Amino acid sequence: MFDNYEKFLGYLNVKLQSFFEQQKEYICCKEGCSLCCKTGVYPISEIEFLYLKSALSELDYELRVKILDKISQLKKEKMQQGNDRNWTYICPFLVNDRCAIYEKRPIICRTFGLPYFLDEKIKVPSCLFEGLNYSQVYDYSTGQLSDVKFKELGYKQEPLAYNLSKKFLYNSKLAEVCNLNFGKDKALIDWF
């Protein structure tokens, strides 16, 4: 059922590995750092949800119940907030600062940490504002990654942004080759 999607993920992972390697001077991501899983909406498409659900079904009963309880609680909280689409929450799959379904995590979780293009603008990772990825080369006065700072600080590789938006990936040549139709996405907890 997931053959094509796993093929897509295989290619994407190779690309991401090379991007993270290329940008390693600016990347603070490390095991146990889960900041990007603590404030988000985590939009995912149906195939990503089904994949994540298959991972959930493989977990121990207790862990599964714990995650499903968190999801129910979050759904209630979201309702109390008037179902605001932009309401952020800690991802229910984050358990003891680790992703419980890491190998089957959604696409957005894989691309976290790198700057990317969206509607011809560069979006930077949110952890930048916590002093993490790319914070050394961010210019607050222009709101952009700074070529001047990168040169001044003597980094070898300039900070780059990549075509990694959902919009781009969902409609990419790779998705077409893998015969994938991602369709619409919605917040992770809204799929449950």
The distance of closest approach from Cβ of residue 49 to ligand SF4 in the complex, given in angstroms and rounded to an integer, is 11
Measured torsion, CA atoms of residues 84, 112, 38, 74, in degrees rounded to the nearest 10: 40
User: Cβ distance 47 to 111 under 8 Å?
Assistant: no
Whether the CB-CB separation of 41 and 138 falls below 8 Å is answered with no
The first and second tokens of residue 182, run together, are: 């991602």
Q: Which parts of this chain interact with ligand SF4 (CB under 6 A)?
A: 37, 42, 91, 93-94, 99, 105-106, 109
CB 126 within 8 A of CB 39: yes
Residue 52 or 137 with smaller CB distance to ligand SF4: 52
The CA distance from 40 to 5, in Å, is 24
Tell me the closest approach of the beta carbon of residue 126 to ligand SF4, in angstroms.
12
Q: Least distance in Å: CB of 93 to ligand SF4?
A: 4
Closer residue to ligand SF4, CB minimum distance, 37 or 47? 37
95 or 160: CB nearest ligand SF4: 95
Write the CB contacts of 168 (distance below 8 Å, at least 6 apart in sequence).
Answer: 116, 117
CB of 163 to ligand SF4, least distance (A): 20
If the CB atoms of residues 123 and 149 are measured against ligand SF4, the closer one turns out to be 123
State in angstroms the smallest separation of the CB of 59 from ligand SF4: 12
The Cα–Cα gap between 28 and 26 comes to: 7
Contact 23, 128 (CB under 8 A): no
**Which residue number, 29 or 94, has a Cβ lying nearer to ligand SF4?**
94
